[in-house]
Amino acid sequence: MSETFYSYYDSPVGKLLLAGDESALTLISFPTGKAAKQPAPDWLRRNELFNSVKQQLSAYFVGELTEFDLALRPQGTSFQVQVWQALRQIPYAETRSYGDIAALVGKPEASRAVGAANGQNPLPIVIPCHRVIGSKGDLTGFGGGLACKKHLLALEQTHTPFSLQ
């Protein structure tokens, strides 16, 4: 069993907990909200292991990065992993409904199950669960809170070039 390492990143949406092993990122946790996590007692703080993650998050938050290139290892059921892979297909600054994601994973009647899987996403921002909204365009639950979700969506809209082509 590999060791788990962690660090923190001071972001515009709060101090994010980053965790993983020497080869992949496994967790990003917001400082507050229903899904907030703390380092386990046996985790080791290793700031240098997360330099690439922090650089990419910094570039994302200033609008210079639209797609992350990080080794990820989210842990979940096969359905959850399938949903999280689908979330990564949502383009920067766009949104999809839970129904859209359910159809994308081949289970068009599973909107609620998609919502549950979305809520268990261990790597928010990098796996962009904030880009999933209700069928009528309403913002729905988010582990970092709705204000955080609004912030992330607005950030992406602000840094999206407009073209008439």
Question: Which residues participate in catalysis according to the annotation?
Answer: 129
| First vs last C-alpha separation in the chain | 52
Q: What is the C-alpha separation between 122 and 25, in angstroms, rounded?
A: 10
Q: What is the C-alpha separation between 24 and 73, in angstroms, rounded?
A: 6
Question: Token pair for residue 114?
Answer: 């998609």
Instruction: Measure CA 129 to chain center.
Output: 5
Residue 98 to residues 20, 42, 80, 113: CA-CA distances in angstroms? 28, 36, 13, 9
